[in-house]
Amino acid sequence: MQALVFGLVASAISAVYFTQPVLPQLSREFAASPPVASLTVSLVILGITLSCLPFGVLADRWPVKPIIALGGGATAACLALAAMSPNLAVLLTARLGQGLFFPALTSCLAAYLARTLPPSRLSVAMGSYVSATVVGGLMGRLLGGFFLAGHWRACFWLGAFLVLGLSLAALAWLPPQGPPPARQKQAPSYASLLRAWPTLAPYLATFGSMFVFAAVFNYITYHLAAPPFLASTALISLLYLTYLTGVALGPLAGRMAGRVGAGPTLLIGVGLFAAALLLALASSLPLVVLALVLVCAGHFIIHATSQGLLNLRLDHSQGRGNSLYVLVYYLGGWAGITAAGALWGRWAWPGVICLGLAMLLLPAWVGWVEIKRRDR
């Protein structure tokens, strides 16, 4: 079961990022501007934000295993359509559909695990789940830009077969699930979670961080493919190995927040992130690589601290609170890519950096307010 969970989550998340390292290639193939080609990434994220909460409701009311199978079949169909797309419009439609069914393979799977496993086994399975998110994000970029460089359609075919096969395996081999959780009479609404500062603060911090993180990693491909770097797609894809920084810094950020508080930890993450953005303006490739390492360090410190803070403050309705967190997280990514695309045509990479520095004021403000609230 642990292998199934890992494989299904990793394959679903990797397919989100197949086109990110080959955006310049897509621009040439479809005669599309960078902002238009970037829709192949941002529309997947938009689809996730639109369907995350409805799938959460479905997972609470209906058996989850059929939802996983249905989502896997629909996702595989969208991936196959993307592989066969004759033009950019079809590719964008397939990518939006892929995003709409994404929660069936991630948040619904997490709900299934929470409902089915005892606490002693749940912690192990969820550890596999979290590891799969990092590995999936990395492998999606490496498949598209390194292992299958120049063959982005082959990535989608591989993803379609993996998702479909693993979804059918999950339907056949995952153990029966427990009953749906009893409804809580005083469960907070989504609106109330956003109105109260204790739960609003983590949402704001993660939105701002993911906004900048997604914008940087989306447009770094165009920046490095242009003079003075003229980097190949394969080389650019290898730079996504910096993503593994999050594997080590996630637990470290949690321990740091427990010792010094969430507010100071958020400010440390913002400081590293801001320094990374300034360093990314350098015309030296080694310095840009270092900048990407620091970008990942800053983002994952903010992300891990925010998610930990949210769950510490949720004494019930953890499923609802975390589904909203996923929604806000990916909405931040979509907004960051879209806003950076609007600036790219006029100011290119410096415009993306300035936008990122401005948006980092949001998690910085959250960290400052948390420090002040703790001092009272």
- Residue whose structure tokens are 């498949």: 143
CA 22/CA 277 separation, integer angstroms: 22
Residue 65: per-residue pLDDT:
86
Quick check: 270 and 360 in contact, CB under 8 A?
yes
- Phi first, then psi: what are they for 188, rounded to 5°? -70, 145
Q: Tell me the average confidence (pLDDT) per consecutive run of 10 residues in the chain, 376 residues long.
A: 86 92 91 92 90 82 86 96 96 97 86 72 62 83 81 94 94 73 58 90 96 94 92 85 78 81 95 98 95 94 86 70 83 92 92 97 97 79
CB 38 within 8 A of CB 218: yes
* CATH level 2 (architecture), domain 187-376: Up-down Bundle (1.20)
Q: How far apart are CA 253 and CA 302, in angstroms?
A: 8
Question: Would you state the pLDDT for residue 182?
Answer: 52
What is the pLDDT at residue 184?
A: 47
Q: What is the pTM of this model?
A: 0.79
Among the listed residues 125, 99, 118, 120, the one whose alpha carbon sits nearest the alpha carbon of residue 6: 125
Distances in Å between the Cα of 283 and the Cα atoms of 224, 233, 297, 347, 350 are 10, 18, 21, 16, 12
**In the CATH hierarchy, which top-level class contains the domain 1-180?**
mainly alpha
pLDDT at 188: 64
Give the Cα separation of 142 and 51 in Å (integer): 27
Nearest to 355, CA basis, from 242, 219, 244, 191:
219
Could you give the C-alpha distances from 306 to 110, 150, 265, 296, 336, in angstroms and in order? 19, 37, 10, 15, 18
Q: Which two tokens stand for residue 110?
A: 């997490």
Residues 6+ apart with CB under 8 A from 172: none
**In 3D, which of 323, 319, 305 has the Cα closest to residue 201?**
305
Where does the chain hold its CATH 1.20.1250.20 domain(s)? 1-180, 187-376
Distance CA 94, CA 146 (A): 23
The pLDDT score that the predictor gives to residue 15 is 94
| Distance, CA of 291 to CA of 278 (rounded, Å) | 8
